[in-house]
Amino acid sequence: MKNEKEKYGYVRRRLGRTGLLVSEISLGCWTIGGPNWNEGQPVGWQKFDREEAVRALERALELGCNHLDTADVYGNGRSEQLLGQILGSRRKELILATKVGWFQGTAEHAYHPLHIRHQIEQSLRNLRTDYVDIYYFHHGDFGPEDCYLEAAVELMRRLKEEGKVRFIGQSAYTPSDFARLIPKVDPDVLQSRAHMMDLRMIEPASVVARLIRERDLGFVAFSPLAQGLLLDKFHPESPPVFEEGDNRRQSRWFSREFLTELAPRLDRLKSRFGSSAGDLARVSLQYVLAYPAVSCVIPGFRDAAQVEMNLAPAGKALTPGEAQWIRELFAGLRMA
In this structure, which CATH number among 3.40.50.1820, 2.40.110.10, 3.40.309.10, 3.20.20.100 belongs to the domain 2-329?
Answer: 3.20.20.100
Rounded distance between C-alpha atoms, residue 60 and residue 267, angstroms: 30
In 3D space, the residue among 254, 280, 277, 260 whose CA is nearest the CA of residue 269 turns out to be 280
Map out the domains of the chain as residue ranges: 2-329
pLDDT, one tens digit per residue, over 174-198 is: 999 999 999 999 999 999 999 999 9
Q: Out of 139-153, 238-252, 274-288, which region has the weakest mean confidence (pLDDT)?
A: 238-252
pLDDT at position 7 over 70: no
In 3D space, the residue among 279, 291, 223 whose CA is nearest the CA of residue 251 turns out to be 223
Rounded distance between C-alpha atoms, residue 196 and residue 206, angstroms: 16
User: 195 - beta bridge partners?
Assistant: 198
pLDDT, one tens digit per residue, over 234-246 is: 887 776 666 666 6
Half-sphere exposure of 280 (CA within 13 A, CB side): 22
Give all strands (DSSP E) within 132-290, no chain letters: 132-137, 165-171, 189-193, 218-222
> Which residue intervals of 113-148 are DSSP H helices?
113-127
Query: What pLDDT score does 334 carry?
Result: 81
Q: Provide the phi-psi class of 79: left if phi over 0, else alpha when psi is between -120 and 50, else beta.
A: alpha
Classified as helix, coil or strand, 99 is strand
**pTM higher than 0.85 for the full model?**
yes
* CA 178 to each of CA 44, 139, 254, 312: distance values in angstroms, whole numbers, following the listed order: 25, 10, 27, 32
Query: What pLDDT score does 171 carry?
Result: 98
pLDDT, one tens digit per residue, over 77-132 is: 899 999 999 998 899 999 999 999 988 888 899 999 999 999 999 999 999 999 99
pLDDT at position 283 over 60: yes
Within 10 angstroms of residue 173's Cβ, the number of other Cβ atoms is 16
pLDDT at position 43 over 60: yes
